[in-house]
Amino acid sequence: MKPLATGDPVQIDGHRVVGRLGEGGQGVVYLGESTDGTRVAIKMLGAGLDEPDALARFGQEIGYARRVKAFCTAQVLASGELGGTPYVVSEYVDGPSLAEVIQERGPLRGAELRRLAIGTLTALAAIHQAGVVHRDFKPGNVLLSRDGPRVIDFGISRALGESESGEHLVGTPPYMAPEQFDGRPAGAASDLFAWAATMVAAATGRPPFGTGALPALINRIMHAEPDLGGLDGDLRDLAARCLAKEPRARPTAARALLTLLGHRLPEQALRDTGAQRLLAEGRQSAAPPTPPARARRRWPLMAGAAGTALAVAATVLLLRPAPAPRPPAPTPAPLPVPRPGPMALTSQSELKIPDTRITLFENPADAVWVSSYHDQRKTGTYPTYVRDPATGAFSFFGMWEEPITSPGGGYVASLSFTRLKRDDFETIRLRDRTGRERELRTVDKPATLMAPRWSGDGRRLLATVIDTSASDRAVGFAVVDPVAGSVKVTKVTGAGRIRYVWGSDDASVLYQAPGGVIRALDLDGRQLRAFSGLGELVVRQAERTALGTIFATKCRENSHNICVWDEKTGARKGEIRLPKGVGYSGWLDDQHFLGSRPDGGNTDVVMMDATGRVVRTLATGPKAELDAIVLWYSRK
């Protein structure tokens, strides 16, 4: 902040003017302070507003801007005139601009870049829904605050001039779309072009068509292919689509946001008429077992429920879930057979999980590996990743999802956390190994699905049906068949707060009823058998092991140890004595199970034998990260 200059106002709109935050072609930006100490940014607009028509446009556009929901934007609070000069009062954002960060620190990488992309798209979706086109989206108009990126100055460019041609450019040339140079009006699609150019600059340090002499720059924007540098993955694909020469080929901000969030909601799900009007491009404004190594309280490696993220809140408010269509089932490809056999006893390679300090120790001979992971750290985004069965590489799957890969890798299934906001029904997202996706309708509200689990052969998915209006009591279970495209819901009375797991034959389910009785049901809900007095059921499916076909409980005599029981007869088959601090997370093969072990400030994910002896370390990382990042193990 610089001190006030001679002639600067000392008070604007009831705010004491403290100093100068910046100065440019549009005017001067001051830091203002109200009587209660609240800080605001006040922009005095001196350029381009000396005509009555321009002043009228200014009032109209700022009126639109004040309707923008405060998602990742510096909210417009007030506007007016002082001595004939218009001003805009907006929320003060304490943080540098993206342009300053790129200049001082260099390009952004990894999760930081993805958070920037999602936050700015959220802002553009909110801006466009209010009927506003930014027209000057660029690194200088994105501020990086401690609570995420904020977009500023939306609506002002439109107020400063109607003519948009090579003779009178409204915008910043390296970030302007082709239509802004050939006389066509800028619309929402132009903002998407500028957004993509800004993301490329954030990732590489330079805009996709470079800088320099204006005629050459315009020629590159109009005719050349963009240089996307090291931008990769779904963000690279999205940026390329947004940099299309024709506005109609670019996605809307809402669609682009959904793409990065990993959702496949239809475009007509946009909530209100303000957003619907902007769907027309160029709109003129005013115009075997699969044990998860988790970190939640009940399980050794599972974190507590994460809070609501800004991006998800924005999506819920900007989008109304529409009834999901029932597309015809694609011709199913033969499902791969899960790899048989045991785990290797030693590791041969190391793999660091992207954007974490967690290292996996692997062996090509392993029959089981980490097939997906969910990052529940308090980043406000909850990114999730799945592993390519062919290359072994992890790729981004979506935000606020919970992808789990089937044994054999035939399918990835996910229950989006945003389903909890719906009030009509739920769907489950399914992706096959060719990349084709579909969504199946599952249960009607107030029911919801929880704790999905693949069968051992990877052909069906089991989930517990919860009634959210009845203290989250389980009211039955659902079996999803992705090949047939079917969902079968079986109601069970008197189940209580429980979770269902597969029996070993994948034709039955197990659960612990009130009173401690462990029951086995067929898939129509008929009881097959029941066992009393065996201890608390460990929520894992029945397993075929060297000890026989068993299920596990916490031993009644010592709840730290694991007792195993014959699935058919209930006879005791053995006891696993766990070392102090070690947790049990289900069987990997017929001789080894998955466990977690503290190691100073780290946590190790380990493979243990039936005696409780650690055979091999499978993963390691800081405790805080392994407490908040879910590693899902499944057969290859």
Q: What is the dihedral of CA 494, 499, 503, 508, to 10 degrees?
A: 40
d(CA 71, CA 126): 7
Burial class from Cβ neighbours inside 10 Å (0-12, 13-18, 19+) for residue 571 reads exposed
Number of residues written out for the chain: 636
Burial of 145 (0-12, 13-18, 19+ CB in 10 A): middle
Q: Which helix (H) or strand (E) holds 582?
A: none
Whether the CB-CB separation of 427 and 419 falls below 8 Å is answered with: yes
Report yes or no: 635 and 290 within 8 Å, Cβ to Cβ.
Answer: yes
Q: What is the rounded CA–CA span in Å between residue 616 and residue 273?
A: 59
Cβ(559)–Cβ(541) below 8 Å: no
- Report d(CA 441, CA 439) in Å as an integer: 7
The Cα diameter of the chain in Å comes to: 91
**432 belongs to the catalytic site:** no
* Token pair belonging to 474: 């389980």
Alpha-carbon gap, residue 259 to 265, rounded angstroms:
9
Quote the CA–CA distance of 321 and 336 in Å, as a whole number.
34
Number of H helices, E strands in the chain: 11, 36
Query: Tokens 């075929």 map to which residue?
Result: 544
Rg for the chain (alpha carbons), in Å?
Answer: 28
- Rounded Cα distance between 250 and 235, Å, is 14
Other beta carbons within 10 Å of 316:
16
Coil, strand or helix at 201 = helix
CA 497 to chain centroid, in Å, comes to 28
- Find how far residue 613's CA is from the centre of its chain: 38
Structure tokens at 490: 């079986």
Find the helix packing angle between 188-204 and 110-129, rounded to 10°: 170
Q: Which of 136, 153, 432, 589 is catalytic?
A: 136
For 145-197, give the DSSP string: ETTEEEE--TTHHHHT-S--SSSS--S-GGG--GGGTTTPPP-HHHHHHHHHH
CB 293 within 8 A of CB 631: yes
**Residues taking part in catalysis:** 136
